[in-house]
Structure 1
Amino acid sequence: MTRFNVRKVAVLGAGVMGAQIAAHLVNVKVPVVLFDLPAKTGPKNGIVIKAIDNLKKLKPAPLGVPEDAALIQQANYEEHSELLKECDLVIEAIAERMDWKLDLYQKMAPFLAPHAIVASNTSGLSITQLSEVLPEAIKPRFCGIHFFNPPRYMALVELIPTPTTQPEILDQLESFVTTALGKSVVRAIDTPNFVANRVGVAGMLATMIEAEKFGLSVDVVDDLTGKKLGRASSGTFRTADVVGLDTLAHVIKTLQDNLKDDPFYASYATPPVLGQLIEQGALGQKTGAGFFKKEGKNILRLDAAQGTYVPSGGKADEIVVRMLKKPAAERLKLLRESKNPQAQFLWAILRDGFHYAAVHLADIAESARDIDFAMRWGFGMSQGPFELWQSAGWLQVAGWIQEDIEAGKALSNAPLPSWVFEGPVAERGGVHQPEGSWSASQGRFVPRSTLPVYQRQPFPEAVFGSGAPEALKSGTEEFRNDEIRVWSLDGEVLIASITAKLHLISPAVTEGLLKAVDIAEAKYQGLVIWSPDDVFSAGANLEALMPVFMKSGGKGIAPEEKKLQDAMLRIRYAAVPVVAAVRGLALGGGCELAVHCAKRVAAMESYIGLVEVGVGLIPGGGGLAYIARRAAETAEKAPGTDLLAFLKEGFTAAATARVATSANEARKIGYLLDDDVIVPHKDELLSVASTQVKAMAASGWRAPQKKPFPVAGRSGIATIKAQLVGMRDGGFISAHDFHIGSLIAEVVCGGEVDGGSLVTEEYLMTLERQRFCALLDHPKTQERIMGMLQTGKPVRN
Structure 2
Amino acid sequence: MFKPITTAAVIGSGIMGSGIAAQLANVGISCLLLDIVPTQLTETEAAKGLTLEEPAVRSRLASSAIKQLAKTKPAPLYDERFAKRITPGNLEDDLHRISGVDWVIEVVVENLEVKRKLLSDIERYWRPGVVVSSNTSGISINEMTEGRSEDFRRHFLGTHFFNPPRYMKLLEIIPGDNTDPGVVARMTEFAEKKLGKTVVQAKDTPNFIANRIGTYGLLVTLREMIAKGLSVEEVDAVTGPAMGRPKSATFRTLDLVGLDTFVHVANNVFEHVTNEQERAVFAIPNVLKELVAQGRLGEKSGQGFYKKVKGSEGSQILALELDSMEYRPVRKAASGSLEAAKLAKGAQAKTKALLSGGDRYADFAWDVLKQVLLYSAEKVGEIADSIREIDEAMKWGFNWELGPFETWDAIGLPRSVARMKAEGLSIPVWVKEWLAQGNETFYKKEGGVLFQASGLKYKQVNIPPERISLRELKEQNKVVKANSGASLIDLGDGVACLEFHSPNNAIGGDILAMISQSVEEVRRNFAGLVIANQGRNFCVGANLMLLLMEAQDEEWDEIDDIIRLFQSTMYNLKRFEKPVVAAPHRMTLGGGVEACMPADQVIAAAETYYGLVEAGVGLIPAGGGCKELALRASRHAGADGDLQPLLNRAFETIGMAKVSSSGHDAKTLGYLKEHDRVVVNSDYLIHEAKQAVLRMSAAGYEPPLEELIRVAGSEGKAVLQMGAISMRESRYISDHDLLIAKKLAHVLAGGDVPPGSYVSEQYMLDLEREAFLSLCGEPKTRQRMQHMLATGKPLRN
Query: Shorter-chain TM-score: what band?
Result: over 0.9
Residue aligning to 2:47:
none
Q: Is the 8 A contact 1:155 1:183 kept in 2?
A: yes
Residue aligning to 2:317:
299
After superposition, residues 49-448 of structure 1 pair within 5 angstroms as 49-296=63-310, 297-311=315-329, 313-325=330-342, 340-405=359-424, 415-423=426-434, 427-434=438-445, 436-439=451-454, 442-448=455-461
| Paired AA for residue 452 in structure 2 | S
Residue aligning to 1:775:
775
Seq. identity, %: 35
Bigger mean CA deviation after superposition, 694-703 or 684-693: 694-703
Give the whole-Å Cα distance in 2 for the aligned partners of 1:330 and 1:688.
33
Give the deviation of 1:369 after TM superposition: 1.6
Residue aligning to 1:465:
none
SS in 2 for 1:661: coil
Q: Is the 8 A contact 2:581 2:603 kept in 1?
A: yes
1:271-292: CA deviation from partner (whole Å, max 9, x where unpaired):
1111112212222212222222
Q: 1:352 to 1:424 in 2, by over 3 A?
A: closer
SS in 2 for 1:659: coil
Q: 1:475 to 1:649 in 2, by over 3 A?
A: farther
Give the deviation of 1:750 after TM superposition: 1.1
Give unmatched runs, 5+ long, in structure 2. Answer: 40-51
1:36-73: CA deviation from partner (whole Å, max 9, x where unpaired):
12333352210001111222222222112233223212
After superposition, residues 656-735 of structure 1 pair within 5 angstroms as 656-735=656-735
| Paired AA for residue 739 in structure 2 | H
After superposition, residues 323-722 of structure 1 pair within 5 angstroms as 323-325=340-342, 340-405=359-424, 415-423=426-434, 427-434=438-445, 436-439=451-454, 442-449=455-462, 454-459=464-469, 470-474=472-476, 476-544=478-546, 553-636=555-638, 640=641, 642-722=642-722
Give the deviation of 1:585 after TM superposition: 2.1
Bigger mean CA deviation after superposition, 685-694 or 65-74: 65-74
Give the whole-Å Cα distance in 1 for the aligned partners of 2:139 and 2:259.
18
Give the whole-Å Cα distance in 2 for the aligned partners of 1:767 and 1:187.
57
Give the deviation of 1:700 after TM superposition: 3.1
Q: Is the 8 A contact 1:569 1:596 kept in 2?
A: yes
| Paired AA for residue 278 in structure 1 | V
Q: 1:513 to 1:330 in 2, by over 3 A?
A: closer
Residue aligning to 2:6:
7
Give the deviation of 1:379 after TM superposition: 0.7
Give the whole-Å Cα distance in 1 for the aligned partners of 2:90 and 2:533.
45
1:288-307: CA deviation from partner (whole Å, max 9, x where unpaired):
22222222222222233223
SS in 2 for 1:722: helix
Give the deviation of 1:489 after TM superposition: 2.1
Give the whole-Å Cα distance in 1 for the aligned partners of 2:174 and 2:408.
27
SS in 1 for 2:593: helix
Q: 1:333 to 1:634 in 2, by over 3 A?
A: closer
Q: 1:594 to 1:165 in 2, by over 3 A?
A: same
Q: 1:352 to 1:790 in 2, by over 3 A?
A: same
Q: Is the 8 A contact 1:475 1:490 kept in 2?
A: no
What's the RMSD between the two structures over aligned residues? 2.4
Bigger mean CA deviation after superposition, 469-478 or 228-237: 469-478
Give the whole-Å Cα distance in 1 for the aligned partners of 2:473 and 2:526.
19
Give the whole-Å Cα distance in 2 for the aligned partners of 1:87 and 1:496.
43
| Paired AA for residue 139 in structure 2 | L
Give the whole-Å Cα distance in 2 for the aligned partners of 1:602 and 1:650.
20
Q: Is the 8 A contact 2:23 2:76 kept in 1?
A: yes
Q: 1:621 to 1:474 in 2, by over 3 A?
A: farther
Give the whole-Å Cα distance in 2 for the aligned partners of 1:123 and 1:85.
26
Q: Is the 8 A contact 2:135 2:161 kept in 1?
A: yes
Residue aligning to 1:464:
none
Bigger mean CA deviation after superposition, 737-746 or 4-13: 4-13
TM-score (norm 2): 0.92
Give the whole-Å Cα distance in 1 for the aligned partners of 2:711 and 2:743.
15
Q: Is the 8 A contact 1:472 1:485 kept in 2?
A: no
Residue aligning to 2:787:
787
Give the deviation of 1:613 after TM superposition: 1.7
Q: Is the 8 A contact 1:471 1:532 kept in 2?
A: no
1:771-794: CA deviation from partner (whole Å, max 9, x where unpaired):
111112222222222333344443
Give the deviation of 1:335 after TM superposition: 6.1
Q: Is the 8 A contact 2:548 2:786 kept in 1?
A: no
Give the deviation of 1:28 after TM superposition: 2.1
Give unmatched runs, 5+ long, in structure 1. Answer: 407-414, 461-468
Give the whole-Å Cα distance in 2 for the aligned partners of 1:550 and 1:106.
72
Give the whole-Å Cα distance in 2 for the aligned partners of 1:380 and 1:301.
23
1:313-370: CA deviation from partner (whole Å, max 9, x where unpaired):
2222232312434699997788668774433322211122122112222322212222
SS in 1 for 2:263: helix
Q: Is the 8 A contact 1:332 1:347 kept in 2?
A: no
Give the whole-Å Cα distance in 1 for the aligned partners of 2:762 and 2:357.
64
1:679-733: CA deviation from partner (whole Å, max 9, x where unpaired):
1111101110011111122233323332223222222222222222232233322
Give the whole-Å Cα distance in 2 for the aligned partners of 1:336 and 1:231.
14
Give the whole-Å Cα distance in 2 for the aligned partners of 1:765 and 1:262.
72
Bigger mean CA deviation after superposition, 123-132 or 566-575: 566-575
Give the whole-Å Cα distance in 1 for the aligned partners of 2:522 and 2:187.
38
1:381-422: CA deviation from partner (whole Å, max 9, x where unpaired):
11122212222111211122233345xxxxxxxx21123233
Q: 1:556 to 1:344 in 2, by over 3 A?
A: closer
Q: Is the 8 A contact 2:551 2:777 kept in 1?
A: no
Q: Is the 8 A contact 1:214 1:342 kept in 2?
A: no
Residue aligning to 1:463:
none
Q: 1:144 to 1:506 in 2, by over 3 A?
A: same
Give the whole-Å Cα distance in 2 for the aligned partners of 1:550 and 1:291.
45
SS in 1 for 2:93: helix
Q: Is the 8 A contact 2:155 2:179 kept in 1?
A: yes
Give the deviation of 1:550 after TM superposition: 6.4
Q: Is the 8 A contact 1:395 1:426 kept in 2?
A: no
| Paired AA for residue 117 in structure 1 | V
Residue aligning to 1:412:
none
SS in 1 for 2:331: coil
1:621-670: CA deviation from partner (whole Å, max 9, x where unpaired):
00011111112222339x65x32211233222211222112111111111
Count of aligned residue pairs for this structure pair: 772
Give the whole-Å Cα distance in 1 for the aligned partners of 2:684 and 2:350.
35
TM-score (norm 1): 0.92
SS in 2 for 1:731: coil
